[in-house]
Amino acid sequence: MILRKDFCVALRPVACTQSSNEVYLSNLNLSMPPPKFVEEKANFDDILESVLPINGLLSGDKVKLVLINSKLPLAS
């Protein structure tokens, strides 16, 4: 399960890349804008709440369901 706080930390490499910084551990603490898709946070919150987190946590199976339904391309 992943906490919201940990999910936000996981977004740091995305923000780093979108800010044209190399994704190095030392760069993850740089001041940079949040990832662009975070602007749709309310939509993502609604989606995540729809799979009924328990104490703010989601199981891997529930996260997998959200990701599959997102229509994002699968890694090959």
36-45 tens-digit pLDDT: 765 566 777 7
**Which DSSP state fits 75?**
P
| Bridge partners, 67 (sequence order) | none
Query: What pLDDT is attached to residue 35?
Result: 78
| pTM score above 0.85 | no
| In the chain, where the domains are located | 4-69
**Residue 33 · residue 14 · CB < 8 Å:** no
Query: What pLDDT is attached to residue 75?
Result: 62
Q: How far is the C-alpha of 33 from the C-alpha of 26, rounded, in Å?
A: 17
Q: Exposed/middle/buried for 44, CB within 10 Å: 0-12, 13-18, 19+? A: middle
pLDDT tens, residue by residue, 18-76: 888 888 888 888 888 877 765 566 777 788 888 888 888 888 888 888 888 877 666 65
